[in-house]
Amino acid sequence: MILRQKSLFRFFAFCAPILLSGCFEFGMSTSELCEKHPSLCTGLNNNDGQCRHQRTDLIWQRYDVMKEPTALHKFDELMLWQKYQKCIDLSAQIVTTKLKDRKRSRSEALIHSHNEIERLENELKRSSQPEVLFYFWGKGDQQAQQRFLELEGTRVMETPRLQLALATYYTHRDEKKTLRLLHHSLELYDGKKGKTRNHVIPEVIRSIATSYNRLGDTLHAYLWTQIAAQFKLGVAESRQLSMMFPMDDETREKLDNLAEDIADDIDDGEYKAIRLNVQQ
């Protein structure tokens, strides 16, 4: 449950949820879209069952970029190119004698994905969008890191994902500030029925438990470990937790009940850090 900056960069690179147009627009299928705009599908392993979902998402995102070439749309395309590349790289290694043309198509698509990723990275180099800056920070760009950190406290940073990104910087530098950022990340989450990109929430919950544990705050560390259990995030068994977090039965029961309530609040998008008196 340790918040690692490098692993989070990979998380954003390959697991970041993308808001897509969907596979159909005005009754148009993906194949019809390719017929209407061939450039969107050129270089991909079309008519191949391998990487079909990644390819479809990518095609429709490229359509979004074609209609509205903003930095964020291009960044979403970049993320999908990387997901597609990861899939097609594995598929290109499949050895088959009966489907030589298909294997060649996958290999060509892999090369094409490298070229497209390089092109988009070059186009986004000057972007001031925080998601883009964090991406280049993860690739070792110190100037992007500085520009990202300068955005702290601004409205553009008020998303769960970007608050978690900020927390990666302060981990081990300022543990209490790390916790404030992580709790604020949960406060910004609009719940499982909302539209917020929410895949970072499990990482936030794990990281809060870890931070409290590093601070030696046994009660809060246990509480957030139990909240993680409510989200089925794979925590230790009850017997192990009793050894890790010694406390009387009455306190443990109160914390267990509180963990259930907080998990419900997070799910409903109603979490408030102040109720735990964690504001510093």
| Integer CA distances (angstroms), 9 to 3, 14, 61, in order | 11, 9, 21
Range from 104-108, 177-181, 212-216 that averages highest in pLDDT: 177-181
Locate tokens 């909302």: which residue? Answer: 194
Minimum mean pLDDT range among 149-153, 159-163, 240-244: 240-244
Distance between CA atoms of 229 and 157, rounded to whole angstroms? 29
> Is the pTM of the predicted complex or chain greater than 0.85?
no
In the three-class reduction of DSSP (H, G, I as helix; E, B as strand; rest coil), residue 13 is classed as helix
Residue ranges of domains in the chain: 5-133, 152-276
pLDDT band at 248 (very low <50, low <70, confident <90, very high): confident
> Could you tell me what percent of the chain has a pLDDT over 70?
81
Q: What is the tens place of the pLDDT at every residue in 173-201? A: 999 999 999 999 999 998 866 544 467 89
Q: What is the tens place of the pLDDT at every residue in 109-137? A: 999 999 999 999 999 999 999 999 999 99
pLDDT band at 101 (very low <50, low <70, confident <90, very high): confident
Give residue 189's identity as a one-letter amino acid code. Answer: Y
Distance between CA atoms of 229 and 239, rounded to whole angstroms? 14
pLDDT band at 18 (very low <50, low <70, confident <90, very high): very low
Structural tokens at position 59: 């095609």
Average pLDDT of the residues in 229-243? 76
Q: Is the pLDDT of residue 88 over 80?
A: yes
Can you say whether the dihedral through the CA atoms of 201, 165, 113, 25 is positive or negative? positive
In the three-class reduction of DSSP (H, G, I as helix; E, B as strand; rest coil), residue 51 is classed as coil
Distance between CA atoms of 194 and 160, rounded to whole angstroms? 13
Q: What is the tens place of the pLDDT at every residue in 21-37? A: 444 455 689 999 999 99
The overall average pLDDT reported for the chain is 85
Which value, to the nearest 10 degrees, does the dihedral of the CA atoms of residues 3, 201, 219, 2 take?
-10
Q: Is the pLDDT of residue 62 over 80?
A: yes
Distance between CA atoms of 102 and 91, rounded to whole angstroms? 10
Asked if residues 154 and 190 have their Cβ atoms less than 8 Å apart, the reply is no
87-96, long-range: CB < 8 A, 24+ apart: 87/50, 87/51, 87/54, 88/45, 88/50, 88/51, 88/54, 88/113, 91/45, 91/48, 91/50, 91/51, 94/50
Kindly give, in sequence order, each residue whose CB lies less than 8 Å from that of residue 218, ignoring residues fewer than 6 positions away.
245, 246, 247
Architecture of domain 152-276: Alpha Horseshoe (1.25)
Candidates 277, 165, 166; CA nearest to 212 is 277
The pLDDT value recorded for residue 247 is 85
Q: What is the tens place of the pLDDT at every residue in 1-13? A: 444 455 455 545 4
- pLDDT higher at 262 or 94: 262
